[in-house]
Structure formats: C-alpha cells, structure tokens
Amino acid sequence: MNAMDNMTADYSQDDYDEAVNNSMCDFDEWEPSYSLIPVLYMLIFILGLTGNGVVIFTVWRAQSKRRAADIYIGNLALADLTFVVTLPLWAVYTALGYHWPFGVALCKISSYVVLLNMYASVFCLTCLSLDRYMAIVHSLTSTQLRTRGHMRASLATIWLLSGVLAAPTLLFRTTLYDAETNRTSCAMDFNLVVSKPGQEPFWISGLSISSTALGFLIPLLAMMVCYGFIGCTVTRHFNSLRKEDQRKRRLLKIITTLVVVFAACWMPFHVVKTMDALSYLNLAPDSCTFLNLLLLAHPYATCLAYVNSCLNPLLYAFFDLRFRSLC
C-alpha cells in the first residue's frame, strides 16, 4: 500500500510507498481524491495561468509608473506562473493513482519548479515586507537603500537562493517502478547518499524540517517583525498622515493581505509535513491512526498550498485600485 515517504524535500504531489514509518499499518487512501484533486489542480492551473499572466503583463506595460513593490509583485507572479504550468502533469499523476508516465527529466524538472516557487514566493513577500518597513518606519533615511540597483540585487539573490535551496530535488527526485502495482512513481530516492538503511529517515526528516524552516518559518518571522514595527509607526502617526502616507497605508494593506493569505494557505501543508518528519525521528506519534490521518490530509494540505498561486492576482484586483486602473 502507498505510504508517506516523500512528504519531505518538496511539496509536489508525492507518491507514498512501502517505506512508511510503520510498515505494518494498513493504509486506506480516500479513493475520491483521485478524481477530486486533479479537478482542483486544473482549476488552479486555469485561474493561475490567466491571473498571473495578466499581472506580469500589467507590470511590464506600466514601466514608467512602476513602484518597487510592483517589481516584487511581478516576480511573485512569475514564480506562480512558472509553477502552475506544471499542474497538468501533477493532475494526470494523481488521476492515474500516482503513476508518472512522463519520464525522469520531467519528474525532476517539475518537482524542482514546484519547490523553486515555494522559496521564490516567500522570499518575494519577505522583500516586499522589508521594503514597506524601510519606506514607512525609516522613510527619511531609507532613500539610499531603496534604489533600483539594490532592488535588482535583491531580486537576483531571491532567484539564486531559491534555485540553490531547491537543488536537492534535482539530485534526489527520480522515477521508481513498482512491479507489484505496475506503477511508476515520481519520488525521492536517497540511494546516492545513504549507505545504511537506518540513515534514510534522517535525510527525509532533515530535508523536510530545513525546507519548512527556510521556506516558511524564518521568512514568516521576519515579516511579522517588520509588520510589528510598521504597526507601531502607523498607529503613532495615524492622525497626521499626509496623502502620500495614506497611499503607503493602502499598499501596506495589500501586502499584509498577501502575507496573511500566504501563511493561511501554507500553514496546513507545513504542519502535516513537519509532523511526518518528526514521526521518522520518533518525536511524534507513529501509530497507524496518526500516520493514516497524515496520509489522508496531505493531498488536501498540498492542494491548499497550490491555491495560493492563483489567489494573489485576485487580491490585487480586489484591493488595489491602482492595479485595476493599469489593467
């Protein structure tokens, strides 16, 4: 029976094989997931492709009116667009009962793009938050730091760091054929670095926990600190806001909403993934009931994380009058 071996180094729709923490468990997957999840993936694909395409085109067209925030938002949309292009592959994979018919190359590339999107998205949001922090809390002294050159350097760092952190997927992702079920999965294979059977759980747990820390917890903490200082500054000067400051507050509202929605969409996935990783280290329950619950929750927690890639354009359209006018 399929199990939770690869809910770890990336968040693509992982198959589950025999190497579960407790191999004596009888895991029962919810069969409607094979039909429901692909439909949701294709819906996210259509909305994400259209919405993020519009955002990128709008940011590109309005070159003379671009704010620093617009550049980060455009890169956030680019990360989301790159990711949603892979969703038809994951939809077919799920519909076929986690059988991967597309070969090793697409398995590696698609998985890499998924993880690249996770890191690039959260890093873009972190830079957006830092930019608002500098613009509002240090409005008089931040001019020299908030230059176009510094912004280009931060964007280059975002994509380079995201690419490096996602690199283990290119190394370890591959196709694995199971003769018993006659299915080929796109899964993590640690045979390149594991010499003893007992070492694999540490690789699984290490990659899982590190990706959650670097791709969610630490950036989220940095954003919360920024908004804490911003909140104090805005509250202190609430009654004396100039027109320019009011525009900053509206932009701040948009970015805060993006961060909150990102955290809400990604939190369940990282909770499920971390609990699975901790169970490998015997730091969380490893009962069959608990592991089966994680197995059932994982596809839907993953799907909720994917939803974030099509929500951002809707948030821009709903909250940003300036964005609507540029469209």
The CATH number of whichever domain residue 72 belongs to comes to 1.20.1070.10
Range of the domain at 295: 33-326
Spatial CB neighbours of 107, under 8 Å, sequence gap ≥ 6: 100, 173, 174, 175, 186
Q: Please say whether the beta carbons of 277 and 204 come within 8 A.
A: yes
Residue 214 maps to a domain: yes
Q: Please say whether the beta carbons of 120 and 162 come within 8 A.
A: yes
Lookup result for tokens 């693509």:
12
Angle between helices 103-137 and 87-95 (to 10 degrees): 130
This prediction's pTM: 0.85
pLDDT tens track for 236-287:
765 555 555 566 677 778 888 888 999 999 999 999 999 988 888 888 777 7
Question: Which amino acid is it at 303?
Answer: C
**Mean pLDDT computed over 190-219:** 88
Residue 68 maps to a domain: yes
Residue 234 maps to a domain: yes
pLDDT tens track for 96-130:
989 999 999 999 999 999 999 999 999 999 998 99
Q: Is 175 helix (H, G, I), strand (E, B) or coil?
A: strand
Residue 19 maps to a domain: no
Residue 185 maps to a domain: yes
Lowest model confidence (mean pLDDT) among 22-36, 77-91, 93-107: 22-36
| Neighbour-count burial of 198, counting CB atoms closer than 10 A to its CB (0-12 exposed, 13-18 middle, 19+ buried) | exposed
CB atoms within 10 A of CB 187: 23
Residue 182 maps to a domain: yes
How many separate domains does the chain show? Answer: 1
Q: What is the pLDDT of residue 325?
A: 62
Residue 110 maps to a domain: yes
- CA proximity to 22, closest of 327, 300, 256, 292: 292
- Residue ranges of the alpha helices (H) in 62-188? 68-84, 87-95, 103-137, 148-165, 167-172
